[in-house]
Amino acid sequence: MPLQVSDYSWQQTKTAVFLSLPLKGVCVRDTDVFCTENYLKVNFPPFLFEAFLYAPIDDESSKAKIGNDTIVFTLYKKEAAMWETLSVTGVDKEMMQRIREKSILQAQERAKEATEAKAAAKREDQKYALSVMMKIEEEERKKIEDMKENERIKATKELEAWKEYQRKAEEQKKIQREEKLCQKEKQIKEERKKIKYKSLTRNLASRNLAPKGRNSENIFTEKLKEDSIPAPRSVGSIKINFTPRVFPTALRESQVAEEEEWLHKQAEARRAMNTDIAELCDLKEEEKNPEWLKDKGNKLFATENYLAAINAYNLAIRLNNKMPLLYLNRAACHLKLKNLHKAIEDSSKALELLMPPVTDNANARMKAHVRRGTAFCQLELYVEGLQDYEAALKIDPSNKIVQIDAEKIRNVIQGTELKS
């Protein structure tokens, strides 16, 4: 049973009480202080001090200072008045127990409120930090997109200027060719006229008995007119060639610069083969083909052997790191294995390789956004996940599954639906 301490001293003013309590040689680390508005307890084994205060105090602003083997309390009164005693007199054991229990409940409620307030403040701080990070990332993304757009516009202008220059040069050459042809035709016609005139004059000179008079002159002039009529044009054919198109859209409706860049990247991906890898010496020829490895990985994925599929995609990527479908399929494997950060990295790499956006790679871009958005949501980064799902809906607005998933994410963000 603890020893009650009675050799304490106290003083008061109308607004505060100053209590001095000796520790009696007990270590400061072993001292436990508990204080509420009506109850004060100091436990420093084997000693115990309890005070059922005469009037309520402001326990939040009250202070305790330990030093020189003494605890000095500064207790601020809630109401300015002089106390007759420090503790209430005439308190029985039951009343003491009720005051103790009430004080403990008050302390527990305050601790709970403080914990909840701290957690709420932490959530607000995290929410604010997340919004700031999203804003910064959005600004960076916009800045990068603006730079890309400016570069694309600049390249397009240079390409159009080059095409215009080529067109003018071709027109100039065509005009020059036509002028030369006209000159040659004129020369040929003049030579033909000269030859006909010479032959005609020779024939006339050789005719000694030629008829004279008005009729003969008329015949000569009519024959000369007939000989001066040019010959009819020769029959020919014009060959028309249409511009070859890889994409199904018409040339006037397509994005020529983006499509040419996409085809160029695809050609580079087919040519990029790292055949100097040491592990390739023991492989068959078909096993050194990235397409064969991709198909092998797809078959392993279908049998739920995700680790083996990742190994196949890894080797294919080492052989050719320009094929976006390898990263896209490996992201699907990482999603199945809950390697969420790796799934985000592979999806982002696939989207990078799927630039520029054209009709030929629309389905792959939509899948990459959905897989990255799924990984974000499983990491509870719902805002980033919703951004990817909305990007996928821009590519394929009629996809019902993506629409339903995007709506669920919005409900989670708004707090109307708990994550299952």
Mean pLDDT for the chain? 82
Q: Which CATH architecture has domain 286-412?
A: Alpha Horseshoe (1.25)
Torsion 306-307-310-312 (CA) sign: negative
Least confident of 38-42, 111-115, 203-207: 203-207
Q: Rounded to an integer, what distance in angstroms lies between the CA atom of residue 263 and that of residue 266?
A: 5
Check: CB of residue 357 under 8 Å from CB of residue 246: no
Higher pLDDT, residue 30 or 151: 151
Check: CB of residue 290 under 8 Å from CB of residue 316: yes
- Amino acid letter, 194: K
So what's the pLDDT on residue 217? 43
Residue 121 pLDDT more than 70? yes
So what's the pLDDT on residue 212? 47
Query: What's the average model confidence in pLDDT over 127-151?
Result: 92
Residue 28 pLDDT more than 90? no
Would you list the domain boundaries of the chain? 1-87, 90-194, 286-412
The torsion angles phi and psi of 415, rounded to 5 degrees, stand at: 80, 15
Q: How confident is the model at residue 376 (pLDDT cuts 50, 70, 90)?
A: very high
Q: Rounded to an integer, what distance in angstroms lies between the CA atom of residue 74 and that of residue 17?
A: 6
Phi-psi map region of 364: left, alpha, beta (phi>0 left; psi -120 to 50 alpha): alpha
Higher pLDDT, residue 122 or 88: 122
Beta bridge partners of 77: 57
Q: Rounded to an integer, what distance in angstroms lies between the CA atom of residue 247 and that of residue 409?
A: 35
Does the global pTM surpass 0.85?
no
So what's the pLDDT on residue 70? 87
So what's the pLDDT on residue 145? 92
Query: What's the average model confidence in pLDDT over 119-144?
Result: 92
Angle between helix 290-302 and 324-336 (nearest 10): 20
Residue 271 pLDDT more than 80? no
CATH annotation of 1-87: 2.60.40.790
So what's the pLDDT on residue 107? 83
Q: Rounded to an integer, what distance in angstroms lies between the CA atom of residue 208 and that of residue 343?
A: 108
Omega cis (within 30) before 2: no
Higher pLDDT, residue 167 or 234: 167
pLDDT digits (tens, 9 = 90+) for 220-247: 445 445 555 666 767 777 777 766 655 5
Beta bridge partners of 63: 74
Lookup: tokens for 182: 């006209």
